[in-house]
Amino acid sequence: MVHSKKRCYGYVRFIAPKKCTAAIRMLAYGVAADSLDEYVRISESTARIALMKFTKGVITKFGAEYLRRPTPDDLARLLRFGEERGFPGMGGSIDCMHWEWKNCPTAWKGQYSRKSGVATLVLEAVADRDLWIWHSFFGIPGSCNDLNVLHRSPVFRDVLEGRAPPRVVYGECNQYDKGYYLTDGIYPNWATFIQSVTCPQTLKDKLFAQHQEGARKDVERAFGVLQSRFAIVRRPSLAWDEEILNDIMLSCIIMHNMIVEDERDTYAHYADATDSLPTQVIMGRI
């Protein structure tokens, strides 16, 4: 147990490890701020302030490293992952996740509510096979679907501004000079998206759909691991300010990527024959 220090004039000052412990417990277990009184012996207001300062500190200190765009080495590794799985030129998979906002202001609830009447905020993310989240765009009201989020997202800003690294992929009928993401059926038929076959009839289409849908689950797995590691993004949010929610989400993604980097060397090399798809099949589809 980390103890507090007493100032000369009688007031108790909580040292930094104690505040960090409170913030990490709120992030990891999703508990309310007033539930930490018996464990770390700090008040609800102090715990909330500690959480806000902790998340901002994580973003300021580690955001540039763990929220970065893919470097040439990162891109080479991503393309190697895709080619091993039968998708040459794949940069990952993209999808959206909803985070329930319990304390959404009443005046905003109609804008942020889904069909179920629950207010949510949307996170758009791109993840690779190692579950590293390369792109995150958070804060769009939950009433928007994945397509609405895409039109507001900066995911293709580098491509539009000509800063994206080139990658040439040849198909039977088309030629691509940029990489692509695996998506579900709601996304548009753009050259940067590879979707599954809705109703596969031939053996070739069935094989493609099976492997595409399996590889596309990387981002779904990343969402699940993120929520399991940080219960605060799995449970309804108790914060009132949207800026606080954004800081919480970004800090959780940063720490998630830090864990992925730390454990990456221990992962099994699971690019086996059952998970790979012949390149000729992919070329025939795209």
* Cβ neighbours of 262 (radius 10 Å): 9
Same domain (yes/no): 77, 134: yes
Same domain (yes/no): 9, 97: no
Same domain (yes/no): 51, 128: no
Same domain (yes/no): 249, 176: yes
Same domain (yes/no): 43, 74: no
Same domain (yes/no): 210, 86: yes
Mean pLDDT of successive 10-residue stretches along the chain, which has 286 residues = 49 72 92 82 87 95 93 87 86 93 90 88 94 94 92 79 52 59 89 86 88 91 95 91 94 96 72 48 52
pLDDT for position 205: 87
**Three-state secondary structure call for residue 9:** coil
Same domain (yes/no): 39, 86: no
Same domain (yes/no): 17, 106: no
Which residues are registered as beta bridge partners of 100? Answer: 120
- Residue 243's alpha-carbon distances to 55, 239, 258, in angstroms, are 11, 9, 23
94 Cβ neighbours under 8 A, 6+ residues apart: 124, 125, 126, 135, 155, 181, 182, 183, 187, 193, 219
Same domain (yes/no): 15, 98: no
Pairing mode of beta strands 193-194, 5-6: unpaired
Question: Within the chain, what is the greatest distance between any pair of CA atoms?
Answer: 81
H/E stretch holding 238: none
pLDDT for position 96: 95
**Three-state secondary structure call for residue 83:** helix
Question: What does pTM read for this prediction?
Answer: 0.84
159 Cβ neighbours under 8 A, 6+ residues apart: 178, 192
Same domain (yes/no): 57, 73: no
Total domains, the chain = 2
Same domain (yes/no): 181, 166: yes
Expressed as residue numbers, the domain containing 18 is 5-63
Residue 49 CA, chain-centre distance (Å), reads: 25
Q: What are phi and psi of 62, to 5 degrees?
A: -115, -5
Domain boundary among 29, 46, 63: 63
Same domain (yes/no): 255, 215: yes
